[in-house]
Each structure stands twice: as C-alpha cells, then as structure tokens.
C-alpha cells in the first residue's frame, strides 16, 4: 500500500492459489489491517478476469485487481479519514477460516420488473451462469447486533429460475434464496479472530412481492410494439437486498449483473408505450427499467 492508499495484492504461490478456486473459478479473499487504533477488514471475490500474471525476479506472480477497495473499521473503531500507509508489505501468511454453521436459506433480491401501464408484460430470468455479488457481514465477537457490512462475495448460478411473468399495471421485486454460512477467521496474534457470515451457494425458489411506488423522472423512448431484452448493462445495487437481519441483525447488499444468464424481457403488446431507465435510456446504462403510459 502506498501513501495514496493504493493497494496491490501479489500472490507468490500461484499453484496453491489456483487450488483454492471454486467450481466457478473464483477465489474468496480477505484484506485485513491495522490503522488508527482500529482493525480494518474487507472481503471480496477474485474472478479470473480480475487477475494477471507478471514475471518478477524470474518467477510468475499473480496480481489481483482490487477494483476500488475500501477498508471498513470493525468494532466501532473511529477514523478521521486521514489514515494512510507509509509503505507496507503483507506477511506471506494467510488467515485460516473454519465454517461453523450453515443457516436456513434467506431471501435475496436478484431482479425487478416495473410495468406501470396496460398492454405490456415483463419476464425476469435468472439462469445458469448468472452472477450475484452479495455483501459479507463481519463481527469481532459474532454476537447478534455486532455485525457490520464489509466487502462482498460473488456466486454463480448453476440453475435456471424463470420468475412468473409480470402483467399489466404490476410492479414486482424478484427474490430467490441463498444459503449463508458463519465462519471463524483467524489472522494471527496481531489481527486476531473475526466472525464472518456470507452467502455460499444458491438454494433456489421464487418470491415476487409487489413493489410499493411507481418509478418516475427517467429517460424514456417510445415503443410501438415489439420486445426489449436487457442483458448487457450493469445492474443496480440494493443496499438491503439480502434478508439476513434475522441471523446477524442487519440486511446485506446485493447486485446481480445483467447478462445472457440474467435478463429482463419487456413485451410491448400495445402501441405508444413509454419505456424508461432511471439513470439512462433503455439502450444505454439504465439501472432500473420501467414501462409506463
């Protein structure tokens, strides 16, 4: 870490690193440190696309792109916003994690369909290969009410879930269930032991409650029949989309990226309907889509 807070992770033992990959090719990583009297911690998933291999001193070294890492203080430690490293090198030693228990499946928001007019239907599909990035809860003690959000974990679906079609004048939030587990993470005498709760696999199921309010003020185009399939833009992050409050006292964030494996299809059966994105036109990076009169 340099004086500007830029952090690079280099993996010297690439063989051992590759042995840690899950079925989807991802590796779960944690960055921990001390600053300003507090312990900082961040969990994230390294996928093959975030990695590169460099030749350093005659040896292949794996480098992981941390993509805007921000470390969060644990246990109520206060920060002034001025903490900066003056130069630090991590010790060549990994923390050890022990799974203590799995919880019953929890509802996780993976998509939305807003049809705010007649003559339009929408279908959300969560299929094999869809990625959901779910927040990680971390605590120094593991007691209920002491968890805070710190980092994320990315899971890849190996199932096909086609949610019920959303009809005219209907707004839906689409949930499926994930299994969460609690881990004890031991990082040695300096950083000590932490408890972490994170999603470990997809359980399945569908739950589509009504959304409360109409969306307005977006950037709109007119559809005179036809269909629109959204499968290439970045999805919105729901700050409390993973319903884990019943086990750790807080809900966690979730983001599902749109792709050919997680897509929303709007079918315009009537002419002259407005189709909008909350942040951009539907053909751009719209965040949340909605059909209206």
Residue % of the chain over a pLDDT of 70: 71
Inform me whether the pLDDT recorded for 83 exceeds 50. no
CA distance 46 to 243: 24
Question: What confidence tier does 85 reach under pLDDT thresholds 50, 70, 90?
Answer: very low
Whether the model pTM is above 0.85: no
CA distance 138 to 159: 28
Determine whether 101 is exposed, middle or buried from the number of CB atoms within 10 Å of its CB (0-12, 13-18, 19+): exposed
Inform me whether the pLDDT recorded for 109 exceeds 80. yes
Residue 19's pLDDT is what? 73
CB 231 within 8 A of CB 243: no
Residue 153's pLDDT is what? 87
Average pLDDT, the chain: 80
Mean pLDDT of all residues in 241-270: 90
Residue 246's pLDDT is what? 95
Tens digits of residue pLDDT in 136-175: 999 989 988 899 998 888 888 888 999 999 999 999 999 9
């Amino acid at each position: 870490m340099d004086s500007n807070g830029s952090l690079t992770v280099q993996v010297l033992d690439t063989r051992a690193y590759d042995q840690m990959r899950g079925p989807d090719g991802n590796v779960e990583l944690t960055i921990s440190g001390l600053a300003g009297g507090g312990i900082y911690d961040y969990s994230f998933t390294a996928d093959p696309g975030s990695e590169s291999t460099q030749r350093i001193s005659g040896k292949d070294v794996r480098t992981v792109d941390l993509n805007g890492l921000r470390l969060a203080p644990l246990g109520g430690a206060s920060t002034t916003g001025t903490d900066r490293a003056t130069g630090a090198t991590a010790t060549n030693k990994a923390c050890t994690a022990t799974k203590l228990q799995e919880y019953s499946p929890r509802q996780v928001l993976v998509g939305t369909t807003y049809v705010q007019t007649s003559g339009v239907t929408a279908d959300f599909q969560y299929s094999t290969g869809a990625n959901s990035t779910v927040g990680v809860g971390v605590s120094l003690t593991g007691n209920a009410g002491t968890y805070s959000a710190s980092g994320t974990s990315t899971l890849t679906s190996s199932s096909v879930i086609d949610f019920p079609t959303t009809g005219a004048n209907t707004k839906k939030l689409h949930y499926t269930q994930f299994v969460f587990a609690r881990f004890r993470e031991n990082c040695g005498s300096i950083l000590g032991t932490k408890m972490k709760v994170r999603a470990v696999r997809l359980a399945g199921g569908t739950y589509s409650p009504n959304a409360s309010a109409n969306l307005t003020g977006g950037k709109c185009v007119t559809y005179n029949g036809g269909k629109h399939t959204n499968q290439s833009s970045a999805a919105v992050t729901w700050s409390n989309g993973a319903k884990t409050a019943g086990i750790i006292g807080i809900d966690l964030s979730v983001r599902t990226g749109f792709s050919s494996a997680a897509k929303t299809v709007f079918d315009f059966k009537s002419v002259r309907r407005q189709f909008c994105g909350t942040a951009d036109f539907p053909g751009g990076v719209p965040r949340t889509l909605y059909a209206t009169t």
